[in-house]
Amino acid sequence: MNLELTDEQTLIIAMVRRFVREEILPLEINIDPDADSLEPEDQARLIGITKSMGLYGLDIPPEYGGPDIDLITRTLIAVEMAQHRAGLYAPCYGAFGGAGLAQLFEATDAQKEAYLYPTLRGEKRGFFGLSEPSGGSDPARAIETKAVRVGDDWIINGAKLWISGADRADFGLVFARTSQDKGRNGVTCFIVDTDTPGFHVRRIVHTLRSAHYATELQFEDMVVPHSNILGEVNKGFAIANDRLTRQRIPYAAGCIGVAIKAQEMALDYVPQRETFGAPLASRQAIQWMLVDNDIDIKQSLWITLEAASKASQGLPYRKEAAMAKLVATEAGGRVVDRCMQMFGGLGVAKDLPFERWYREMRIRRIGEGPSEVQRHVIARELLGASLR
């Protein structure tokens, strides 16, 4: 794996780094420490800048109007985009856009017209509805939401939990059981409009006093036309599994970006802060914290870039993506914790971003599949059929 950066990659990363430091960080001085959005005029101005940079819609394929940027470069950009207070859950406050639900690129032409293109234009928002109250870590078997066909429609009843953004969405991908098979060969993906009768956002689920929150959904005799099936009947789990694997790379990259920024802040601080007549940087305990941070960051980055490299070459990367998510979320939490310790009382104050990073990094060890599930995925890839 050759990860020596090209001149173009170096230039792009430098552009994003400058954007974060000159445009994002100054804005965060005057907004709520837990904010995850900006004023509309600031948002529009930032989007204008990223469009002029040629970097808006990073995850949109070029045939749909996105920039032609390879996955390794996009991963490195994601690392840079996370290096600010809201960087974990609102990297650059959406200034670089996104592909929305990437699964819609495989939709029918009619579905693209109704959902994909409006999403790319920023006219619609979507959500991904997989996890349920019965359990989110084993979705293939935990899905109890049922869809029954009646003529040209399907009637859906059930519930979803831990769904991000459904309260602000216009539509969502809802996975329901269409066969009594209790494994993965009985789940179908439906595109559901949130104004459909029977669709209910039951409650907002707040987490760890964080800007991140989830929703609980209820479906009561919700009628969805057969034409709104994404993919094929009983083939929905492949769509879900692809998304879960793909998402682990940028998920890990965000944790690495925050860890890099925390370490940078610590390296600036400890030579200046004196205790008992000597700078903190002279204390072996502090030096070792910084060393351990550097090791955690480099391990996470290399594993994540290996996953991105394999994915970009079309090679199997499930194991590497799981490793990236596992290592980066756990290591990122350790780095932030050590940096808080080095800053002492200031480390837990809202004056600095550490306390927000600490809360949100803890969530990252659970979101997109907890650490234990990632270890199971890795073990299954290592042991093969004996663990399936």
User: What number of residues does the chain have?
Assistant: 388
> If you ran DSSP here, which 8-state letter would residue 100 be given?
S
* Cα separation, 38 vs 90, whole angstroms: 10
Give yes or no: 368 in active site.
Answer: yes
Helix (H) / strand (E) element for 214: namely strand 213-225
323 and 55 Cβ atoms separated by less than 8 Å: no
CA dist list (Å): 307 to 2, 299, 313, 318: 13, 13, 10, 8
> If you ran DSSP here, which 8-state letter would residue 101 be given?
S
Among residues 138, 258, 237, which one has the least CA distance to residue 184?
237
* Cα separation, 374 vs 162, whole angstroms: 18
SS3 content of the chain, % helix, strand, coil (to 5): 55, 15, 30
Residues 6+ apart with CB under 8 A from 105: 61, 64, 99, 116
Task: Label residues 246-256 b or e (16+ Cβ within 10 Å = b).
Answer: bbbbbbbbbbb
Cα within 13 Å of Cα(126), Cβ side = 24
Strand, coil or helix: 97: coil
Of the candidates 216, 320, 360, 368, the residue annotated as catalytic is 368
Structure tokens at 82: 């996370």
Mind spelling out the 3-state secondary structure of 42-72?
HHHHHHHHHHHCCCCCCCCCHHHCCCCCCHH
Amino acid type, 85: R
* Cα separation, 281 vs 263, whole angstroms: 13
Alpha helices (H) along 134-235? 139-142
Among residues 309, 255, 301, 263, which one has the least CA distance to residue 91?
255
* Cα separation, 238 vs 235, whole angstroms: 6
**Catalytic (active-site) positions:** 368
